[in-house]
Amino acid sequence: MVQPIGMPSVLTSPRHLPDRILREEHAPPHNRQYIHAPTRVYDAVAERHPDAAVIIPPRVTAVPSQTTATPRDKHLATIVKHGRTSWQRSSGYNRRSLVETTMFRYKTVIGRRLHARILANQRTEAKIGCNVLNRMTGLGMPASARIR
């Protein structure tokens, strides 16, 4: 039987973590404990990767902490002052959607796994896949302009 792992132990296992950790709502079941204690996520990331920016959209019902000002409180204050959409744009949260869409497109068109066995060949395979997607995207994207 596999023991579920918590968020802090997940942060120590991967070799390369992304610069940002996004969306507590999409946390796997064994990490859902951190949805109710978001400051533990912020603390765990700050301990392991001090330069990483944690971008977790607070719930609509979230309230600032009573003790000290945290990054989460800064997010809440920005949302209250400028609105959630503005916060998403300024924090870079919308890039998550672009990345998820790109990965979905890659996995759908190219495949869910690499077929090469040697690392150098896997890199080449991934580069070819990215070039194919870029070419397909370039051909299929309309030229659009903002109308004022």
* The pLDDT of residue 94 is above 90: no
**pLDDT over 70, % of the chain:** 73
Helices (H), the chain: 7-12, 38-48, 71-82, 84-91, 95-109, 119-140
CB-based contact 31:7 (threshold 8 Å): yes
* The pLDDT of residue 34 is above 90: no
Shortest CA distance to 62 belongs to which of 71, 54, 70, 73? 73
pLDDT tens digit sequence for 9-26: 555 554 444 444 444 444
Shortest CA distance to 21 belongs to which of 1, 2, 44? 44
Q: Give the residue extent of every domain in the chain.
A: 7-93, 96-140
Question: For the residues 97-121, what does the mean pLDDT come to?
Answer: 90
More confident residue, 67 or 35: 67
Spatial neighbors of 78 by CB under 8 A, at least 6 apart, are 86, 87, 90, 91
pLDDT tens digit sequence for 39-83: 777 788 888 888 888 888 888 888 887 777 778 888 888 998 999
What's the pTM? 0.51
Q: In angstroms, rounded to a whole number, what is the distance separating the alpha carbons of residues 59 and 66?
A: 17
* The pLDDT of residue 106 is above 50: yes
